[in-house]
Amino acid sequence: MIKYCFQFISVILITILITGCSATQQNSGDDKQVYIFDQVPEEKTIEAPKTGEYPSIAETYYVVQIGAFTTEDKADTFADLSRNKTNYKYSVIYSDNLRLYLVQVIPFFKSRSEAEEVRNNLWKISDFVDAWIVTVNK
């Protein structure tokens, strides 16, 4: 009796394992995914200066950051790969406070909700699930 119970449980576990594994499908590589994001209207954004520093304006603004790296080469490589995966533009700046090279979406945003929308769109791509928002208070 115990032998049959053990066999029955084994069959159920194997069936669950097989059906659980077969439920996920992998891309064959032939299907290319295209990510299309809406453009944020210019009146809701702030252009980042070319110097790689934050703009000096008198209002609070929001920056979507996708990475922080110890070397400029790593940050530039990640920014280049990110440009190829999205329609967003990215800048690499050095933070003296953090001693890190930061990869950020440009332009910056005047409203947190606009920044959240961009961040949430980036979260849909596995490479950007760690994207976050930096609030710059002036």
CATH of the domain at 92: 3.30.70.1070
Q: Considering the domain boundaries, does residue 26 fall inside one?
A: no
pLDDT for 98 equals: 84
pLDDT for 39 equals: 45
The segments of the chain whose pLDDT lies below 70 read 1-57, 138
Domain span holding position 117 = 43-136
pLDDT for 136 equals: 86
The pair phi, psi for residue 4, each rounded to 5°, is: -70, -40
**Enclosing H/E stretch for 28:** none
The alpha carbon of 80 is separated from its chain's Cα centroid by a whole number of angstroms, namely 14
pLDDT for 19 equals: 45
Q: Considering the domain boundaries, does residue 14 fall inside one?
A: no
Q: Full-prediction pTM beyond 0.75?
A: no
The alpha carbon of 113 is separated from its chain's Cα centroid by a whole number of angstroms, namely 16
List all residues 6 or more positions away from 3 whose beta carbon is below 8 Å from its beta carbon.
none
Domain count, the chain: 1
pLDDT for 99 equals: 87
